[in-house]
Structures are given as C-alpha cells and as structure tokens.
Amino acid sequence: MGIREFIHENKPGLCAVGLIVGLPLTLISALSLWYSEGDTGIAQWANDMFGNWAFWLIIPGLAMAIIGGYYLYDFYRKLKEFKNLMKVESKAKFIKNVDKIEELAWRLHPKYERIVIEKKKKYKIR
C-alpha cells in the first residue's frame, strides 16, 4: 500500500487529527504571542511552552486546522450526497445518477465503491 492509497482510505481520520492538533496549537501559540510577559495561568504556561517559537508554530497550526476542517467538511458533504443518491429505489433514477454515484464512491472510500457494485448487481447493471 502506497502513501496515496493510505491517505485516500484514511482521509476522515487524518483530517480530524489535523483539526484536533491544529486548533490547540493555534490557540496556545496565539496566547503565547499576545501575553508574552507578566501574566499568570494559561497565558504564562503557553509562553513558557512555546516561547520565541510561537510565531512559527501558529502558521502550521492554522494551516492544519483550515485544511483539516475543509477536507472533513468536504468528506461529510459528499457522504451525505452519496447516501441520498443511494436511497433511491427506482432503477431508472439510479441509472440516471450512476455516474455521479460512482464518482462520489471513488472519492469517498473503497467501502462505498463496493456498495455501488452491490447495488448495480441488484439492478443487474454492468
């Protein structure tokens, strides 16, 4: 399994990790930048933790949070559309939307490709 297949099969988890790591990294870096001296509590802890690196850590933190959030949103939007198209019990409507369904399945996960294959077998479509 190559890196491309790994990313394709684990995209939602990787995006969630990016969001989970990126948001706190951004928040702690921002606190460290804003409250650099004389404060106590979490702001002092953030400054002690990152110190002069806060500016350089806020950039990848923001990037991870934005990219992870976007791809996670995009995945769930496509998943919702896929499920709505797969709910159709009419063979004619399924055939009409089969190109869109196959594209969504390909972009989502191999598991959804297998679901499409099963539905095509059910309707006896090549």
User: Diameter of the chain by CA atoms?
Assistant: 72
Q: Which domain holds residue 12?
A: 3-122
Q: Where are the beta strands (DSSP E) in the chain?
A: none
- pLDDT tens by residue, the chain, 126 residues: 799 889 888 989 999 999 999 999 898 888 777 776 666 566 677 667 777 777 888 899 999 999 999 999 999 999 999 999 999 888 899 999 999 999 999 999 889 999 999 999 988 887
State how many domains the chain has. Answer: 1
Work out whether the CA dihedral 66, 71, 72, 76 comes out positive or negative. positive
Tell me the pTM: 0.80
Question: Can you count the helices (H) and strands (E) in the chain?
Answer: 6, 0
